[in-house]
Amino acid sequence: MPNTTRTPSKAAVALALHEPPALQCAADGLYRAAAECCRQQARISSVLDLHCAQEELEAVIEASVLSVKTLADAGARYSALGSESHDGLGEACWHAANTLWHASREYARRHQSCNVKSAKMSRHSATQLGELAIEYELKASAVLALRYAVELYHKARPEA
């Protein structure tokens, strides 16, 4: 009869010993997702400035929406793990990760709000356009805060 219990290989044991804590992985993932959102926002701006074809703009917007979904998922994972402890993150890195988490939540919220308000406006008044302009200004502010948080995390943990 074959032996069904296996002892882990030396490589598996070595990998397990060097596996970073879950919160650190979640914070690093949040950082990378936030950096990608910033990159996608810059890409949209570039495509708009270049007056590219509608198809290209739609593809860039689709990529941006996907990056925001990834950011929201990464934020939820970090939040779930970070509520228990900040094991694996040094004090400065933990504060930078929390700043990034807050900025990510605000950016995702503003992004969603702009999409909802834009979709509702087939016919609009000057007042509604003013409200939409304010939403986009708030989103631009959230993008700047996200960029700042990404830079702050990168300074605290450049190996991420």
Q: Are 24 and 147 in contact (CB under 8 A)?
A: no
Rounded CA separation 116/103 (Å): 20
**Average pLDDT estimate for 126-145:** 87
**According to the model, what pLDDT value does residue 101 have?**
97
* 92: Cα within 13 Å, side-chain hemisphere: 7
Domain-wise residue ranges, the chain: 22-156
- The helix (H) or strand (E) run that includes residue 122 is none
**Average pLDDT estimate for 23-41:** 96
pLDDT tens per residue across span 3-27: 555 666 665 555 555 677 899 999 9
Percent of the chain with pLDDT strictly greater than 70: 84
Which of the four pLDDT bands, split at 50, 70 and 90, describes residue 46? very high
pLDDT tens per residue across span 60-109: 999 999 999 999 999 999 999 988 777 778 899 999 999 999 999 999 99
Which of the four pLDDT bands, split at 50, 70 and 90, describes residue 116? confident
**Average pLDDT estimate for 118-143:** 80
**According to the model, what pLDDT value does residue 100 have?**
98
pLDDT tens per residue across span 79-91: 999 887 777 788 9
Record: fold of 22-156: A middle domain of Talin 1 (1.20.1420)
Residue that has been written with the tokens 């879950």 in this structure: 22
Q: Are 156 and 92 in contact (CB under 8 A)?
A: yes
Instruction: Examine the pLDDT at 140 and tell me if it is beyond 70.
Output: yes
